[in-house]
Amino acid sequence: MKDVKKNEKKIECPIEKSISLIGSKWTLMIIRTLYLNKKPMHFNEILKDLNPISSKTLSSKLKELAKSEIIVRNVIPDTPVKIQYSLTEKGKDLNGMMNAMASWSLKWNI
Amino acid sequence: MKDVKKNEKKIECPIEKSISLIGSKWTLMIIRTLYLNKKPMHFNEILKDLNPISSKTLSSKLKELAKSEIIVRNVIPDTPVKIQYSLTEKGKDLNGMMNAMASWSLKWNI
């Protein structure tokens, strides 16, 4: 008896596992923005930086990334309450990938 | 006078440049498949490996990757003519990124 649902392929390859989690344009762009900014950011700051992303897409992608524990949503008890997003240790550990992408782009004059 | 068209943002960040070129699921998956396979592959081999990608999407993504000089389309003069795809030096040089993705996945038990 199969332990996976029909049409659900069990992923064994570690590269494919990473791609399934972070392999989309806006997901990578959010990680990049938080990585380069070095400090927590408000929703509107990320939104502005990723122009022309829509609020709806950004909101959905931030939720996905928080669920994957790549980013964390911090609630600052202020009036009004402030929400900030930052990379977790797991998210910060994507610096190897970010650096590899930067090096490749510079080397090949992308 | 602006030297870029309306709605066309000039990209300066090397990470963003890489994301704009290869930051999509199927593009990354094609690079991964050719990277792991180590030797040229036929269209149908890639199609099978990337199940459930559609022929239309694969065809379109292969054209994009060839235009970006990340893969090369080799025509083998046989009867019938055979077409094979492989990574160029520029494409092979994405091994740093592929390895970083694999290491991250293994480290964080993705």
Average pLDDT of the segment spanning B20-49: 97
- Interchain proximity B23–A17, CB inside 8 Å: no
CA dist., res. A61 & res. A39, Å (int): 19
Q: Which amino acid is at B27?
A: T
Q: What is the pLDDT of residue A7?
A: 52
CA dist., res. A65 & res. A35, Å (int): 14
Residue A96 is nearest to which of B20, B28, B104, comparing CB atoms? B104
**Test the B interface: residue of A36, A87, A98, A105 with most B CBs within 10 Å:** A105
pLDDT tens digits, B67-81: 999 999 999 998 989
- Interchain proximity B24–A21, CB inside 8 Å: no
Please answer whether residues A25 and B24 qualify as being in contact, where contact means their C-beta atoms are separated by less than 8 angstroms: yes
CA dist., res. B82 & res. B78, Å (int): 6
Residue A107 is nearest to which of B15, B32, B93, comparing CB atoms? B93
Other C-beta atoms lying within 10 Å of the C-beta of residue A39? 7
Residue A25 is nearest to which of B14, B23, B52, comparing CB atoms? B23
Over chain A (110 residues), what is each successive 10-residue block's mean pLDDT? 55 95 97 96 97 96 98 93 96 98 97
Residue B18 pLDDT exceeds 90: yes
Going by their DSSP bridges, the two strands B71-76 and B82-87 should be labelled as antiparallel
**Test the A interface: residue of B21, B69, B110 with most A CBs within 10 Å:** B110
Is B77 in CB contact (< 8 Å) with chain A?
Answer: no
Query: Nearest Cα to B14, choosing from A107, A55, A21?
Result: A107
User: pLDDT band at residue B10, thresholds of 50, 70 and 90?
Assistant: confident
Predicted structure pTM score: 0.90
Q: What is the pLDDT of residue A8?
A: 60
Please answer whether residues A22 and B104 qualify as being in contact, where contact means their C-beta atoms are separated by less than 8 angstroms: no
B41: β partners: B85
Token pair in block for residue A34:
């938080």
Query: Nearest Cα to B90, choosing from A24, A103, A32, A17?
Result: A103
Token pair in block for residue B36:
């792991």
Q: Which amino acid is at B86?
A: S
- ipTM of model over 0.85: yes
Torsion of CA B32, B34, B38, B42, to 10 degrees: 150
Query: Nearest Cα to B104, choosing from A25, A87, A84?
Result: A87
User: pLDDT band at residue B11, thresholds of 50, 70 and 90?
Assistant: confident
B86: β partners: B72
3 state SS of A10: coil
Average pLDDT of the segment spanning B3-27: 83
